[in-house]
Amino acid sequence: MLQLRPNCECCDRDLPPDSTEARICSFECTFCASCVTQRLAGVCPNCGGDFAPRPRRVGAVLARNPASTERVFKPRPLG
């Protein structure tokens, strides 16, 4: 099951479980759509993989399977 990490690793923006702005790589590195396009050029800086929209988790399913609360923050410069 996906962890649904709570923030962008690059800019620390909050990414709640129902966010349509969250992007993940195959290792679940989590970034916001803005950082993926503007800072990372679509390539994960941790593993070199590409990104896909993170699936959303809502309602009763979220209540039974809560998202992670562990924040990962590794700031990266523009460019």
Q: Where are the domains of the chain?
A: 1-62
Topology of the domain comprising 1-62 = Herpes Virus-1 (3.30.40)
Cα 46 to the chain's mean position, in Å?
A: 13
H/E stretch holding 33 reads helix 33-38
On the question of pLDDT at 79 being above 60, the answer is no
Average pLDDT, stretch 54-63? Answer: 96
Average pLDDT, stretch 20-38? Answer: 97
Q: What is the SS3 assignment for 61?
A: helix
Looking at residue 76, what is its pLDDT?
Answer: 74
